[in-house]
């Protein structure tokens, strides 16, 4: 199918079903309005019969406090865990539901396997305490949030609840600037959907697209909608040499590669995209030699780095700068939630600078290899210089295996042809970790010429304790000894401050 020539065919595809709208008497167009003066609304979407499901949960939702209950279709993302003894990966099935709402909704989750003794709705920072009634629990969402429901601390047999606002004025299938995919499963000849400049790819709720979405040397193009990119060959989204690209709301399930690759591109905004992966090199979103990239409100559960920020690799060249990751929830079943700096250009050294990570919840991190640990890892190799990094309001829940933070100037001979140039000017404010599984965090310059300079932690809180140079300790102790971290002699001007001390400077 050529979507640019057959938008109506996409909308009316064989096997497509009508949208299921959550309140009696509403039609899908009427449900698009979403403002503070409108009545509560709930919109649910069918799962096409050919899409795999999972059987661990029954999930219902209703407009609070007394709307009609609607049963949600269960989707089956897949996840991976690495065996540290053999290096082999085991793939697990998990569960996901998604819907749109305005107002408040009540969610009811029944664990069909039984034996429920406790339930948890994450991120913990949301403060959602579910009501537990045997194998059924209920909780309320006052606004769209992406959450994970865990029963009895199960890591993989859990439920991911993905929610959106009800859409305003969804694109029309008749719009010549829209490549429209309605409910149902869609394929594209060759497995790649190439998006022209000025066009919008729209995935309606209940739509499933099995092609890669490709932005190549284009501008002012968009991918949006409440549909799903599924098992996309070569990765779900590829953006090369493009500018002014927007990606909004889509869910990416089980891609054969990265959820998204952004190379030599500028002014990229990715808002409320979600990604689940299980295959090797199953990164979430990777950035190469690009500038002005914003990731906002994303939920990422990946079998490799959730976010990776690099300079040169493959055919991408140039510095990377002005990258923001904010309001995101990250879960790395393999490798890092955030990884920065591995790839660069030894022959013409590049810089990764002006990186902001703020208001982020990290739910898990599991990586047996010491060289690939760190919920946030700044690890320049290939003559990269990382500088001007701001990390603020990051909440790290207890994870399975790894480090809270890992700053290391590296020469990883598997990937690098030279040592990184260094790390400079890193400010970490209001980072908290609560848990018992973290290995010591490492801050390691390579040598005197490839050092880490000017790193400040303000209000670093580890298990409720504020870590500061001024805290009570034996005078011969390093501040890092209090939390069993280690910084070597090539880390210069490392400071730990309280909020009051930082404000007084």
pTM over 0.75: yes
Q: What token pair was written down for 470?
A: 């001024």
Contact between residue 53 and residue 76 where contact means Cβ atoms under 8 Å apart: yes
**Strand boundaries in 272-347, DSSP class E:** 274-276, 285-288, 291-296, 299-302, 307-310, 320-326, 329-332, 338-340
Residue of 28, 3, 58 whose CA lies nearest to 193? 3
Domains and CATH numbers, the chain: 7-165 (2.60.350.10), 333-505 (no CATH)
The tens digit of pLDDT for each residue in 304-337 reads 999 999 999 999 999 999 999 999 999 999 999 9
Q: Tell me what the mean pLDDT of segment 406-429 comes to.
A: 98
Residue 239 forms beta bridges with which residues? 215, 262
Q: Tell me what the mean pLDDT of segment 248-253 comes to.
A: 98
**Neighbouring residues of 98: CB distance < 8 A, sequence distance ≥ 6:** 45, 72, 75, 161, 162, 163, 164, 226, 251
The tens digit of pLDDT for each residue in 72-130 reads 999 999 999 999 999 999 999 999 999 999 999 999 999 999 999 999 999 999 999 99
Q: Distance between alpha carbon 404 and the CA centroid of its chain, in Å?
A: 17
């Amino acid at each position: 199918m050529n979507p640019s020539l057959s938008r109506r065919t996409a909308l009316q595809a064989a096997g497509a079903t009508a949208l299921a709208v959550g309140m009696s008497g509403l039609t899908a167009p009427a449900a698009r309005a979403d403002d503070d003066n409108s009545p509560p609304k709930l919109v649910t979407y069918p799962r096409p019969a050919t899409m795999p499901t999972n059987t661990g949960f029954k999930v219902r939702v209703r407009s609070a406090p007394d709307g009609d209950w609607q049963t949600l279709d269960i989707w089956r993302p897949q996840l991976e865990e690495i065996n540290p003894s053999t290096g082999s990966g085991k793939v697990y099935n998990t569960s996901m539901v998604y819907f749109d709402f305005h107002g408040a909704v009540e969610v009811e989750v029944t664990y069909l396997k039984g034996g429920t003794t406790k339930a948890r709705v994450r991120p913990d920072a949301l403060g959602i305490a579910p009501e537990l009634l045997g194998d059924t629990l209920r909780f309320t969402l006052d606004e769209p949030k992406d959450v994970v429901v865990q029963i009895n601390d199960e890591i993989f047999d859990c439920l991911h609840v993905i929610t959106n606002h009800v859409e305003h004025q969804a694109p029309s299938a008749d719009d010549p600037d829209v490549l429209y995919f309605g409910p149902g499963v869609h394929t594209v000849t060759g497995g790649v959907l190439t998006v022209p400049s000025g066009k919008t790819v729209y995935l309606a709720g209940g739509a499933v697209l099995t092609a890669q979405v490709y932005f190549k040397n284009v501008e002012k193009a968009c991918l949006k909608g409440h549909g799903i990119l599924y098992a996309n060959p070569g990765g779900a989204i590829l953006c090369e040499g493009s500018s002014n690209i927007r990606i909004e709301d889509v869910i990416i399930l089980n891609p054969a590669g990265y959820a998204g690759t952004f190379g030599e591109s500028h002014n990229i905004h990715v808002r409320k995209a979600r990604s689940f992966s299980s295959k090797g090199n199953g990164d979430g979103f990777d950035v190469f030699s690009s500038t002005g990239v914003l990731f906002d409100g994303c939920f990422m559960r990946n079998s490799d780095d959730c976010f990776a920020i690099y300079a040169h690799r493959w055919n991408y060249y140039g510095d990377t700068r002005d990258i923001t990751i904010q309001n995101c929830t990250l879960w790395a079943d393999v490798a890092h939630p955030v990884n920065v700096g591995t790839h660069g250009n030894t022959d013409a050294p590049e810089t990764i600078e002006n990186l902001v990570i703020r208001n982020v919840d990290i739910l898990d991190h599991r990586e047996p290899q010491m060289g690939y640990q760190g919920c946030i890892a700044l690890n320049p190799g290939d003559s990269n210089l990382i500088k001007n990094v701001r990390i603020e309001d990051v909440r790290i829940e207890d994870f399975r295996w790894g480090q809270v933070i890992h700053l290391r100037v590296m020469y990883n001979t598997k990937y690098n042809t030279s040592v990184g140039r260094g790390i400079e000017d890193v400010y970490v404010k209001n980072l908290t970790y609560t848990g018992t599984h973290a290995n010591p965090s490492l801050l390691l310059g390579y040598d005197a010429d490839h050092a880490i300079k000017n790193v400040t932690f303000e209000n670093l809180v580890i298990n409720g304790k504020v870590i500061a140079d001024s805290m009570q300790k034996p005078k011969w102790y390093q501040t890092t000894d209090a939390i069993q971290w280690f910084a070597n002699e090539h880390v210069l001007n490392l400071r730990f401050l309280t909020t009051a001390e930082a404000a007084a400077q």
